[in-house]
Amino acid sequence: MTRARWDEELLAAPELSAGAAARRLREGLQAHGFELLAGATTRARRIFLDSFDGRLQAAGLAAVHLRRDGAETVGRLAVVKREGGAEVAGEDRFPAPGGPILALDLAVGPVREALLPVIDVRALLPLAELDGELTEYAVLDDERKTVTRLTIEQAGLVAGVAPGPLLRVRLRLQEVRGYRSDRQRVSACARELGFVVPRHRLLDEAVLAAGGNPGGTSAKVAVELIPSQRSDAAAAAVLRALAEVVEDNLEGAIADLDVEFLHDLRVAVRRGRSVQKELRGVFAPDALAHFRREFKWVQQVTGRSRDLDVYVLEFGEMRALVPEPIQADLDLVVRVLGEQRAAARRAMARELGSPRMAALRRDWDACLEELVALPVADRPDAEVAVAELAGRRIAKVYQRMRKMGEAIDGHSPSEDYHEIRKQGKELRYLLELFGAPLFPAAAVKPMVKALKRLQDVLGRHQDREVQRRTLRELAEPVSAQPGRAEALMAMGVLAERLYEDELAARDEFAERFAEFTAQPLREQVKATFR
Amino acid sequence: MSTVLATYNIKGGVGKTSAAVNLAYLAARDGHPTLLWDLDPQGASTYLLRVKPKLRGGGERLLRRRSEVAELIKGTDHQYLDLLPADFSLRHLDLELDGFKHPTRRLARVLEPLEAEYDYIFLDCAPSISLVSESVFEAADVLLVPIIPATLSSRTFEPLAELVGSEGGAGGVQVLAFFSMVEVRKSLHREVMARVRAAHPGLMLGAAIPAADEIERMGEARTIVELLAPGSRAAIAYRALWWDIRRRVRTAA
């Protein structure tokens, strides 16, 4: 298959068909002493893919599955550069993708190598399919030598079985080495004839025509706030943005397209719950209690699936913790884990698709919509300037963490670590959602940095404990399987290693906590957040 | 790294250029980026590929400013096949090489910056024994020697075999010879072929290029035999020859 590579792309006038465009071009070029020679015409089906959050696009890449026509079921999956279309990696005889493609599921080879560092655990999703007819042309000079290559393409969107809308005819010019000035003359001639530089690349145009979003959908929330803004209005704006992230990711989480949908959904819910709690004074108490309960329920029904996702993701790493000769004994655990994950996912999908969830989404949206218009009698913080309220809360949580951390020594129960970690999350969300847009970066950034380092250690401590607990829970189903003895023994070794790492995390806590509560940072917090 | 193949014979008119152009085309058709360097001041390959015989700065600039060689390369009508064209200035290439400290290494040095870009580089050399040909022996991985199976012509092959060393080549270059302009109806051709093949089994390729109309018509049509008459004996012979060469080349790309 010819490498997709071109130097310039132009669009024909909207009323022109591929044939009419070629005729117009032929006449125009003739006047400049060129001859247009038609070559082969091919039909091609192209499916453009990217992760939900557009990671390939952000990396300047695109993934495309190319097959000769709609009847074929296999083709070439290629990773190409967005700029110029040069192929980075490709694999032939690849089945036309109908669903998500995970890099880790691909055969070891250049395509996997090219994708994995970019998309990581995210799946490539088919975004748009094009049915195109491409005709190749050679532009000849007076010696009948090819001095520029042209491709004229008429492509239409494939929407299900029916042909979708046609895109505008596209002309691609490919320079022949050593004939730059000829290519420039051909290009100038095409522009004279009404061909224009396209606003979007073909793949972006296809994705847009299919109703998609070429840059992908980000789970990042950055709402601009004004320090003097009413707190209820600011909270509603931030919470609406978080609710949108939940909406964006709900379908993918239910369909289990990749693990990040559920993760992003849960993070958005958790951040929302955190805002509800920290800025509780902007809500009417009864309504708030109802929504806090409902969102807690969302976290509960999604929790087990997420835990098992993480477990499956990290099992490779955990497996490396046990001595090499007994690593294979853990295969049984992987299988049981997979079954449990599938069951948890099914249960979760039922809940997320339930009327209760639908009601929550609808009611929460309505609540945020009308929040500012509600009476303020039972909402003491509603009219407070958001910078004041957020500053107060940030200072408060920071002080609380200091107290909790100072009480922790190496022998404290795990719950103490969990509690301070929870507070750390609250603080992190406050800083990201309100601190960043409202306060000087010089104050917010060092605080976030020290907090992150502290949370990393606390997170590892927590992860190891959850992993040990999950391992204990797996002992029962694993012991019902043949070959269980070796698996159980290997699980014992793994549990011990996990515990050792948990203890190591405890040791590191003191150091990180000292950084987090160092004198300069304390003073900075005091000066900035009242 | 590219494999550098030079078509060479002391005598002219033995099918050297036809072989270079047709083999380079077949290499490119397989998707291998291929460069054909026309070193013959007559510029026959340049003409066949419809490129104007113009080398900005001439042969001297080519040798002196090797970093600029890439700018002199021309794309051809065929995907993946590029040409470094010849012009008449190349007739002084010998004298110009003589001005260098290590003249026989110069062509290899000129090729260095191109090695990353091309899988195959073909050198189409002018018929002679000169500083240029010695420089070509130095630069090439493989010397492709067309021989007309007539007594006189095949005798020119013997000193060459000696020059580059014993059977299979020495000093880095591998020598592969093939019969060219073969007329199988002539018993003399058949006899000479049998004798030379028996004497140099490691040197002789199995495929032979016939004396064919299609090859002569290439000049008129300015194209490749494969495109002019894909079903012809000549086209089939070039395909067989290319297959045989790839199989035998020690430094396969």
For residue B170, pLDDT beyond 50: no
Average pLDDT over residues A235-258: 96
Query: How many angstroms separate the CA of residue A205 from the nearest CA in chain B?
Result: 28
For residue B166, pLDDT beyond 50: no
User: Which tokens sit at A68?
Assistant: 């000769």
**By CA distance, what is A137's nearest residue in B?**
B77
Average pLDDT over residues A111-122: 95
Residue ranges of alpha helices (H) inside A320-354 are 331-352
Structural contact between residues A487 and A332, judged by C-beta atoms closer than 8 angstroms: yes
For residue A433, pLDDT beyond 90: yes
Q: What is the pLDDT of residues A258-269, one digit of tens each?
A: 999 999 999 999
Separation of alpha carbons B244 and A355, rounded Å: 72
Structural contact between residues A89 and A110, judged by C-beta atoms closer than 8 angstroms: yes
Yes or no, beta carbons of B75 and A178 under 8 Å apart: yes
Name the most confidently modeled range: A289-298, A463-472, A515-524, B80-89.
A289-298
Residue whose C-alpha is closest to residue A363's, from A293, A302, A426: A293
CB contacts < 8 A (A, B): 30
Q: What is the pLDDT of residues B233-244, one digit of tens each?
A: 999 999 999 999
Average pLDDT over residues A139-161: 89
Yes or no, beta carbons of B74 and A2 under 8 Å apart: no
Q: What is the pLDDT of residues A290-326, one digit of tens each?
A: 999 999 999 999 999 999 998 888 887 888 888 888 8
Average pLDDT over residues B107-120: 91
Residue A375 dihedral angles phi and psi, to the nearest 5°: -60, 150
Average pLDDT over residues A368-395: 94
Yes or no, beta carbons of A178 and B74 under 8 Å apart: yes
For residue B168, pLDDT beyond 50: no
- Residue holding tokens 């109309």? B213
Residue B92: which pLDDT band, with cuts at 50, 70 and 90? confident
For residue B153, pLDDT beyond 70: no
**In the prediction, which pLDDT does A161 show?**
64
Percentage of chain A exceeding pLDDT 70: 98
For residue A5, pLDDT beyond 60: no
For residue B253, pLDDT beyond 60: no
Across the interface, of A2, A145, A175, the residue whose CB is closest to B50 is: A145
**In the prediction, which pLDDT does B251 show?**
55
For residue B171, pLDDT beyond 70: no
Q: What is the pLDDT of residues A39-73, one digit of tens each?
A: 999 898 999 999 999 999 999 999 999 998 767 78
pTM above 0.95, yes or no: no
Average pLDDT over residues A386-409: 94
Buried/exposed code over B125-163 (b: 16+ C-beta within 10 A; e: otherwise):
bbbeebbbbbbbbbbbbbbbbbbbbeeebbebbeebbeb
Average pLDDT over residues A479-505: 88
Average pLDDT over residues A188-215: 89
Yes or no, beta carbons of A178 and B73 under 8 Å apart: yes
For residue A185, pLDDT beyond 50: yes
For residue A377, pLDDT beyond 60: yes
Residue B131, CA atoms < 13 Å, CB-side half-sphere: 18
For residue B252, pLDDT beyond 80: no
**By CA distance, what is B223's nearest residue in A?**
A145
For residue B58, pLDDT beyond 90: no
Residues β-bridged to residue B82: B35, B75
**In the prediction, which pLDDT does B231 show?**
93
Mean pLDDT of chain A: 91
**By CA distance, what is A149's nearest residue in B?**
B77
Separation of alpha carbons A405 and A44, rounded Å: 63
Residue A4: which pLDDT band, with cuts at 50, 70 and 90? very low
For residue A430, pLDDT beyond 90: yes
